[in-house]
Every structure is written in C-alpha cells, then in structure tokens.
Amino acid sequence: MFAIIVFFVSCQKVLDHWPKGHGNQVDCKIKKLIYSDFEYNYYYGPKGLLDSIIRVPEDSYLPRGNAFLKYDQQNRLIEYAEYYDRDPQDYISIHHYKYAGNRIVQDTGFIRIAAAYTEVLDIEYDFWGRITKTSGFSWIENDPSTPIPSVTMRYAYNDDGNKNKVWFNDDLTTYDNFDDKVNYVRTDPVLEFLFRNYSKNNALPGPTSYNDKGLPITFAGDVNDPYLFTGIEYNCK
C-alpha cells in the first residue's frame, strides 16, 4: 500500500507540472533568436505552422544554415532541411520523418558536414510523449553495406517536468537548476521535437529577464540547448 501511495503521489506531482499537450502553453510564437552579430528570424505559414528559419545577415558566420520545414495534409512535420544559402543543391542536412500515428518514430537524415552520409535514427518516447532516446546507424555516401553505429542520445526528466539528464553514449551531463518560468520551447511542439527539449522551465544559468507572459527574453550562460543565443523576441496575442 505504501508503494502504491508513493507512486500515486509521484505521478500526481508530474501531472501537476506536465499538462496534456506540451507545446503552445502560451499564446506566443518565437519571432527571432538574437546572437551577438546575427539573428535567426522565424516565419510561419497561414495555418500558424513554423515554415522557415532564416539567418540575417545570410552571409554571417554559421553555426547553422537557413531552415525550411514541410508538413503533410494532417499538419505533421515531414521534412526539416538546412541549407548554407538558398540554393537547394547546397544543403547541410535534409531530414525525412516516419510516423506511427501522430508520433515521429524514425528520422532519416541526408547530411553533408565534413563528408556526405546518411543516418537513420529510431526515436523512443516516454508516457508523456517526450523523446527519451535516439539511436541508429549511418553510412558514408550511399553505401548501406558498411553501417556505423550512431551516437545514442538518452534524456531523462525530473518530477517537475524538466530535462535534467542527458547521455551522449555513456557520457552523462546533469542539469540541477531551473527557473520557475515558461520554457521558450513550449511555444511550439515542433521546437520541442527539434531541440529534444520538453522541459516546463528553463535551465539555469540561462534567462536573465522575461516578458509579461513569463517567457525568457535575454540569456546568459548555458541555456541547455543547441543554440547559444543571447535573446528571443516573440509575437504574442
């Protein structure tokens, strides 16, 4: 009986902090990510779906290229592609997604970084629909006869609904401190998927100020995501 009570209390704590439908917890969309000498502008289509992410100025130093997203008739993400510029032949990576129901379960990437290779990743989720593991194989050019194991990424969340552990193969990184504000990825479930981050709150050190919706607008230090930006602008209703 004690074990059942503990389990129920633990689950109830997560329920309190993890409402159904991870994204769109605030009625805002990211307008731009601001870096020290460039920015990424976010554009949305008529249905409100993220359509593209464009670097300004476009000839600035990369950490990433311009990104373009495609959806099917059910408004599910089916392609995410990054390009060094707007030339369709000059791509960094193109990802195609396979679904089981409304959940992406496989990511096939055609990647040109240092060398051209293909990578197929299987994606696993927890009960709450948060990615917990990606693993698979890659091969150089178009030769699937010599597959190489990809890096296995694993993610764990604490009872407050925040990603606090990340494994890069067997190397573990932990995140112990979070604010009590709204994580910027919760403006869009597509961003949660792309960033592999479904946290309720923002990792610290990170945000230094917030808007009236509780979303972070300026950052300092490690914000626990692949972009080291210094600010965010939003369009809010």
pTM metric for this prediction: 0.84
pLDDT band at 61 (very low <50, low <70, confident <90, very high): low
Listed residue (236, 233, 235, 237) closest to 56, CA to CA? 233
CATH (domain of 128): 2.40.128.720
pLDDT band at residue 65 under the 50/70/90 scheme: confident
Residue of higher predicted confidence among 142 and 81:
81
**Strands (DSSP E) along 169-206, which ranges?**
171-174
In sequence order, what E strands does the chain have?
28-34, 39-44, 50-56, 66-71, 77-83, 91-100, 103-113, 115-125, 131-140, 148-149, 153-157, 163-168, 171-174, 207-210, 216-219, 231-236
pLDDT value at position 172? 97
Cβ atoms 56, 43 nearer than 8 A: no
pLDDT for 2 equals: 36
**pLDDT, mean of residues 105-129:** 92
Mean pLDDT of 72-97: 88
Tell whether omega for the bond before 57 is within 30 degrees of 0, i.e. cis: yes
Q: Give the number of domains in the chain.
A: 1
| Domain residue limits at 7 | 2-236
Write the pLDDT tens digit of every residue in 209-231.
999 999 999 987 544 444 578 89
What is the average pLDDT across 117-139? 95
| Banded model confidence at residue 9, pLDDT cuts 50, 70, 90 | very low
Summarize pLDDT for 164-193 with one digit per residue, the tens: 999 999 999 999 999 999 999 999 999 999
